[in-house]
Amino acid sequence: MEKTRRPIVVAGIDTEIGKTVISAIICEALKADYWKPVQAGELHLTDADKVRLLTNQHSTNIHPEGVRLAHPMSPHAAADLEDIHIDLANLTVPKTANQLVIELAGGLMVPLNHRKLNIDLLEQWQFPVVLVSKYYLGNINHTLLSWQLLKDRNIPFLGFVFNGKKNQATFDVILEYTKAPCLLEVNLHEEVDATMIQHYAEKFAKEEMKHKLKTA
């Protein structure tokens, strides 16, 4: 019997970084399932819906969100408006025979309630993390702070995915400082569709073979 694979968490250095598209790419590359613990806003077209549209539905099973919130804001604030308390103990990871990709809501320090943050959830789970970094002024600081936080909390780290038009100096200093691998480079200014997802999934799969992400 094949050993159960630990889920992979897709986290970002900020909001609007491209986590959902990167999650779809990884799902397609690894023939993995997808789950988002907390969805805040856009309930008419959730991140799970977007992944479903972008991936092969025969290989990727989309699991229902742990919590669905109507307002597009920090989960703790959206939950307050709906008189909901997000209890980390109730965010039960779906059971699946496939690899599972988990997409966080926002960055590592986003509050889920008035006492607990995304990083606390990661510390509880101890699942390996892929960190999505987007090129913009200030992203070195945000990327290194996020990486350092994962390191300080002893959370397993798989590597970076970089999004956007490449800045070589930024790319080099992040990898030099962290000694962590780049798993994929994407440019989400391109049209995002299933063909684009498949293209990058093939690239990610080659890195997966190199870094053995499935057995992380």
Q: Rg of the Cα trace of the chain?
A: 16
C-alpha dist (Å) from residue 136 to 169, 179, 207: 12, 21, 25
Whether 2 is covered by a domain: the verdict is no
Whether 182 is covered by a domain: the verdict is yes
pLDDT at 191: 77
Whether 5 is covered by a domain: the verdict is no
pLDDT at 215: 44
Ranking 66-80, 85-99, 183-197 by mean pLDDT, the lowest is 183-197
CATH number at residue 144: 3.40.50.300
Whether 48 is covered by a domain: the verdict is yes
pLDDT at 18 over 80: yes
Instruction: Look up the domain containing 157 and give its range.
Output: 10-215
Whether 20 is covered by a domain: the verdict is yes
pLDDT 10s digits, 137-154? 999 999 999 999 999 999
Answer with the residue of higher pLDDT: 210 or 57.
57
pLDDT at 32: 93
Please count the structural domains in the chain: 1
Question: In the chain, at which residue ranges do the beta strands (DSSP E only) sit?
Answer: 8-12, 33-35, 38-40, 67-69, 100-107, 129-134, 157-163, 182-186
pLDDT at 216 over 60: no
Continuous H helices in 55-163: 75-81, 118-125, 139-152
Contact by Cβ (8 Å): 23, 103: yes
Of all residues in the chain, what percent carry a pLDDT higher than 70? Answer: 93
Whether 1 is covered by a domain: the verdict is no
Whether 62 is covered by a domain: the verdict is yes
pLDDT at 185 over 90: yes
Short-list 211, 202, 209, CA closest to 182:
211
3-state secondary structure of 59: coil
Catalytic residues: 36
pLDDT at 106: 87
Burial annotation 183-204 (CB, 10 A radius, 16+ → b, else e):
bbebebeeebeeebbeebbeeb
> What is the average per-residue pLDDT within 55-64?
83
Short-list 8, 20, 197, 21, CA closest to 98:
8
